[in-house]
Copies of this chain bind each other. A is one copy, B any other.
Amino acid sequence: MIAVVAADKQLSGWDGFGLAVQAYGKRARETIDWVAGLAAELDRRFMVRLVKGAYWDTEVKRAQERGLADYPVFTRKAMTDLSYMACAERLLALRPRIYPQFATHNALTVASVLERAGGTDGYEFQRLHGMGDPLYAALIEGHAGAAVRTYAPVGVHKDLLAYLVRRLLENGANSSFVSVAADAEVPVAALLKRPAAIVGGPARARNASLPLPSALFGAERRNSAGVEFGHAAALHALIDEMGVHEGVATAASVIDGESAKGQTRVAVSPVDGRRVVGHVIDATPEVADRAMAAAQAGFGAWSRMPADSRATALERAANSLEASRGRFLVLLADEGGKTLDDGVAEIREAVDFLRYYAAQARAGFGAGMVLPGPTGERNTLRHRGRGVFVCISPWNFPLAIFIGQVAAALAAGNAVVAKPAEQTPLVAAEAVRLLHAAGVPAAALQLVVGAGEIGALLVAHRAVAGVAFTGSTPVAWAINRALAAKDGPIVPLIAETGGINAMIVDATALPEQVVDDAVLSAFRSAGQRCSALRLLAVQQDVADRVFAMLAGAARELKLGDPRDPATHIGPVVDGQAQARLLAHISAMRQTATTHYAGVAPTEGFFVAPHIFEIARAGDLDAEVFGPVLHVVRYKANEIEDLLAAIEGTGYGLTLGIHTRIDAAAERIAARLATGNVYVNRNMIGAVVGVQPFGGSGLSGTGPKAGGPDYVRRFGLEQVVSVNTAAAGGNAALLAAEE
């Protein structure tokens, strides 16, 4: 076996950020693993990335987004150079079993390789056509047998644009060898300083200027921990954690910590529609009433607990949730059909909600804000709980939205009666167990399991001090009317509802990125996200190409068991959802142009991805909650009509924009009051505290979940004004130094 191991040297002298392995033939996989093992030996933090285009800076971003334990790349040139030379030594030592190729324009690296190789046999250098001519001319002159291969990127301007921009950015970097070498003011000795000397020892190995992903939010809160699915060991650990949690779960209402009794129904897996995954006891009206009374009784003590103590309980719950992710991944897949990466993302969101709202409670519900005012008086604005909050959550984020609502209401000092969707009580029941175990008193958090009729009873109850609801717009209307019907305090309703979310792509956009983002936004989670892309509007000039690429990309999506890491799309939540989607698909096949029609497994509640082209944006007038993407063309001069049609849906949840023209993106964002606008990226997966989430119009009331105003909306304001001079004088003024 001979592998060609190319250590890519980029123009900047950033040394490949690891090793790119090119292995060919039948045993390629084995070779790659072997090289990976070698690399792991060299540095525990080192990870071979086989993804094309994985630059160090994008890897840093990815690690932050994924909440990885560390950056899988070196983030400083000297560390990369050091690693590169260590790898080079190993590779050279393995000649002739492998044939290393060293692509570099860094003179020090070339010299170091020559030195370590002890000659010119069994390896080669590579250079980019047009770069490093003097360097390699000198090399060949001094070392007759040295092999230097010249390579060049080949393609048309359009294809190479991103590559060229990248090279420009890198050559402009302060640390680029090419740029430093050209600077007459930099002494040659500085250029020839060895990487080990620059780093200065293991204590300085870490790049102190980049926070670890866990520290992204500073002292306020720890970022949730994620999983690198591309890292076999991490993935296997995750699957192992899930293995111990197989079995049948249970859910029943929980009143003051006691499970309510009643008739049991079975919950089946959406993967096959048969396998029993849980036993559920729905609440009777009497149970719902008891839950409200229990919460009312529990409000006082929880409300009087210092905000800091409430926050601490929520943070304990966050830590405990991270520690028990296996259990929740099983439930999310079994009950909700969630794939593993969706499950991990959802657990992370729930963890983030808990920590973010805990931090908000500390900041807003503690000692209060002292307001400016006249001397001799102290005016303090403080916040407190309202009473009993009813939290009604949907099945599509049975953990994250459930916990998000509950955590916000609890953080503000309310007692909570939580009613999860009838489709997903198992996840909710487990979450309530976890919250209680973490220190949320049983009296402060009551669980009511049941369908919409039970939710209606809760909302109509006289003790309701607030309602948080995520679900459909018509149900939000019904809740709003039930609340308004009562003579009593006007009760806040925090509703997050649907959307007919569009992505607008102009002719300047990068088609590859558009397709990646559109496919992810439309089909991930089987399209069962409020934020999911429903309507892709592409400028006429590039529409044919984009639609063709889209169909190609959709074809690559694998439907199947959500617990298989290779699965992209699991089943939809139940047979009812499936039937509704299939009916829509069937209608669209009659009236629209079909760009792609996937094939779904025959058993279970699967719906395959579909792409339909419709004639006018306005033709899509209802939210289709599944993996069905509608596309439409628009002419550049019709953009205002398109925006008016999007506005005309009445919804305003998410909006994607792909363009290389900043002003165009800003103009569209300013024109539409959409809650979350995403430019040149996908439009799902809003991160707590980073992309506070929620829409306008028919899409919700605000405030945005995971945003700075959310927890305060669950509370009451109180201003306490104290005359501090009442004792006989204004001590502050009398004691003031002149």
| A residues neighboring B (CB under 8 Å) | 55-58, 60-61, 64-65, 75-77, 161-166, 168-170, 172-175, 207, 209, 216-218, 304, 369, 371-377, 379, 381, 384, 386, 476-477, 480-481, 483-485, 487-490, 492-493, 495, 510, 513, 650, 660, 665, 669-670, 673-681, 686-687, 689-694, 696-698, 700-704, 707-709, 712, 716-723, 725-731, 733-738
Contact of A676 with B736 in the complex, beta carbons under 8 Å:
no
- In this complex, what residue of B is CB-closest to A510? B726
Contact of B209 with A736 in the complex, beta carbons under 8 Å:
yes
Contact of B725 with A57 in the complex, beta carbons under 8 Å:
yes
Bound complex: CA A697 to CA B716 (Å): 10
Contact of B379 with A173 in the complex, beta carbons under 8 Å:
no
Contact of B218 with A372 in the complex, beta carbons under 8 Å:
yes
Contacts of A717 in B (CB 8 A): 675, 692, 694, 702-704, 707, 709
* A345: min CB distance to chain B, Å: 14
Contact of B173 with A371 in the complex, beta carbons under 8 Å:
no
User: Which of A372, A697, A733 has the most C-beta atoms of chain B within 10 angstroms of its own C-beta?
Assistant: A733
Q: Would you list 20 pairs from A and B whose C-beta atoms are within 8 A, ordered by A residue? A: A57-B733, A58-B725, A61-B374, A75-B733, A77-B738, A174-B737, A207-B738, A371-B692, A379-B691, A488-B698, A489-B697, A490-B495, A492-B701, A675-B719, A677-B718, A677-B719, A677-B720, A678-B723, A681-B726, A693-B719
| Residue in B384, B492, B697, B728 whose CB lies within 8 Å of A169 | B728
- In this complex, what residue of B is CB-closest to A509? B726
Contact of B725 with A375 in the complex, beta carbons under 8 Å:
no
* A68: min CB distance to chain B, Å: 11
| Residue in B676, B721, B734 whose CB lies within 8 Å of A57 | B734
Bound complex: CA A375 to CA B690 (Å): 11
- In this complex, what residue of B is CB-closest to A474? B487
| Residue in B173, B665, B696, B736 whose CB lies within 8 Å of A489 | B696
Contact of A731 with B377 in the complex, beta carbons under 8 Å:
no
Contacts of A375 in B (CB 8 A): 57, 60-61, 64
| Residue in B170, B304, B490, B692 whose CB lies within 8 Å of A480 | B490
Contact of A687 with B730 in the complex, beta carbons under 8 Å:
no
Contact of A733 with B60 in the complex, beta carbons under 8 Å:
yes
Contacts of A369 in B (CB 8 A): 708
User: Which of A218, A481, A690 has the most C-beta atoms of chain B within 10 angstroms of its own C-beta?
Assistant: A690
Contact of A476 with B490 in the complex, beta carbons under 8 Å:
yes
Contact of B165 with A729 in the complex, beta carbons under 8 Å:
yes
* A629: min CB distance to chain B, Å: 21
* A56: min CB distance to chain B, Å: 8
| Residue in B75, B477, B709, B729 whose CB lies within 8 Å of A709 | B709
* A414: min CB distance to chain B, Å: 12
Contact of A377 with B61 in the complex, beta carbons under 8 Å:
yes
Bound complex: CA A735 to CA B679 (Å): 22
Contacts of A736 in B (CB 8 A): 209
* A411: min CB distance to chain B, Å: 17
Contact of A716 with B673 in the complex, beta carbons under 8 Å:
yes
Bound complex: CA A33 to CA B682 (Å): 78
Given contacts A57-B733, A166-B728, contact A721 B691 (CB under 8 A): yes
| Residue in B57, B376, B676, B681 whose CB lies within 8 Å of A377 | B681
* A673: min CB distance to chain B, Å: 5
